[in-house]
Structure 1
Amino acid sequence: MVATPGPGAAEQATALDEVAGSLMSVWSRAHNAPDVPVPATQLRALLALEHGPMNVSELAAELGALVSSASRLCDRLEASGLLLRDAGRDDRREVTVQLTAEGRGLLERLQVRRRAELARVLADMSSPARQALLWGLLQFQEAVTASPGEPGEPDDSMSLPA
């Protein structure tokens, strides 16, 4: 059953959509630097592997891609030295992929850059505004985690206060 958004939720979603673009722009500046050796799709795969190894099928599901496409993506990342493949011990058809030390280092450098860029923007905000932003984003994260739903399905549990 699809929940219907409460009063004002559509307008709030529109405002959030517009503001989220600014947040994503600031967040992604680090990823678009000239010294980042991988395009956005490959970077998404590295970020998915940041929390630990997974098999290629799981990576494909995480990326919303076909297994064959994820496998080719892994080929490119492995050739770049950012990813390591490991054939399964029980079933050699099940290939696990994980970050190499170089892949982890790249993600760590990007995290430092993202945080510096965010701090630069946050420094231009008042302390109460920064606290309100963080509180709201934490509440948003909690709502997403509590009710992930399917993409495109509205969920009134994620409505922002009026």
Structure 2
Amino acid sequence: MTSSHGRGPRTADVSSAVEAAAEALTALWDRTQRTPKTRVSPSQMQALAIVERHGQINLNGLAAELDAIPSSASRLCDRLQAAGLLTRAASVHNRREVMLALTRDGRALLAEVGRNRRQALALILGDMSPAGREALLTGLAEFNAAAHDATSWERRA
């Protein structure tokens, strides 16, 4: 598993391990977003998280962050509004602009999902050795720093 240069694991081996871990984390994310109260799709959960991050966002901004066309984002918001998780209101600056915000139930759902995720992660991390958790923390910090400039990997891909 070491590289031909003897400097640690081969990039291909690390890439495979990261991919497997990402798949496990994605599965955990999917399982923990399902709550007894409300089931929302991954794209709906993503939309709620985007609105939460911004506090308020207009429909076009949400569509851009979802990488969706505005009509698709609008239909997604229709479902979230019908579920009582999202509100729409005219902007105070431009009455033709629709602003989106979370309802109390929307904020509660995201908080519950966050708690579920942290609890599941704590159980998994508790099964790791202290040295493994420390190595993971160090590796994730380096990974985040390297990935911070998202365009760097896109230029080289």
Cα offsets for 1:4-53 (capped at 9, x unmatched): xxx94344323211221112222332113454332222111111112121
TM-aligned CA distance change 1:15 to 1:37, over 3 Å: closer
* CA shift for structure 1 position 75: 1.1
Structure 2 spans left out of the alignment, 5+ residues:
1-8
Q: In the aligned structure 1, how far is the partner of 2:131 from the partner of 2:156?
A: 28
Is this contact kept in 2: 1:27–1:117, CA < 8 A?
no
Q: 2:81 aligns with which of 70, 78, 81?
A: 78
Distance in 2 between residues matched to 1:9 and 1:154, nearest whole Å: 18
8 Å CA contact retained: 1:28, 1:114: no
Query: Is 1:65 aligned to 2:59, yes or no?
Result: no
The answer for the alignment partner of 1:159 in structure 2 is: none
* Structure 1: distance between partners of 2:10 and 2:96: 51
Partner of 1:23: 25
Indicate the SS of the match to 1:149: helix
Alignment-mate amino acid for residue 24 of structure 1 = T
Aligned partner of 1:153: which letter? E
The alpha-carbon deviation at position 123 of structure 1 amounts to: 0.8
The one of 102, 108, 112 equivalent to 2:111 is: 108
- TM-superposition CA deviations, 1:68-91 (whole Å, max 9, x none): 100111111111110011212232
TM value normalised by structure 2: 0.83
- The 1-side partners of 2:32 and 2:116 are apart by 6
1:88 touches 1:95 (CA, 8 Å); kept in 2?
yes
Encode CA deviations 1:113-148: one digit per residue, 9 max, x unaligned.
Answer: 101111111111001101111221122222222x11
CA distance in 2, matches of 1:141, 1:42: 25
Query: C-alpha root-mean-square deviation of aligned residues, in Å?
Result: 2.2
Structure 1 residues 10, 61: closer, same or farther in 2, change over 3 A? farther
Among 36, 41, 44, which residue is 2:43 paired with? 41
Q: d(CA) in 2 for partners of 1:133 and 1:154?
A: 27
Structure 1: which amino acid aligns with 2:64? Answer: A
Aligned to 2:99, the other structure's residue is in SS state: strand
Matched residue count: 148
Aligned to 1:43, the other structure's residue is in SS state helix
Displacement after TM superposition at 1:56 (Å): 0.8
Equivalent residue runs for 1:1-162 within 5 Å: 8-51=10-53, 52-145=55-148, 147-149=149-151, 153=154, 155=156
Higher RCO (Cα < 8 Å, 6 or more apart) = 1
In structure 1, stretches of 5+ residues that fail to align are 1-6, 157-162
**Partner amino acid, structure 2, of 1:111:** G
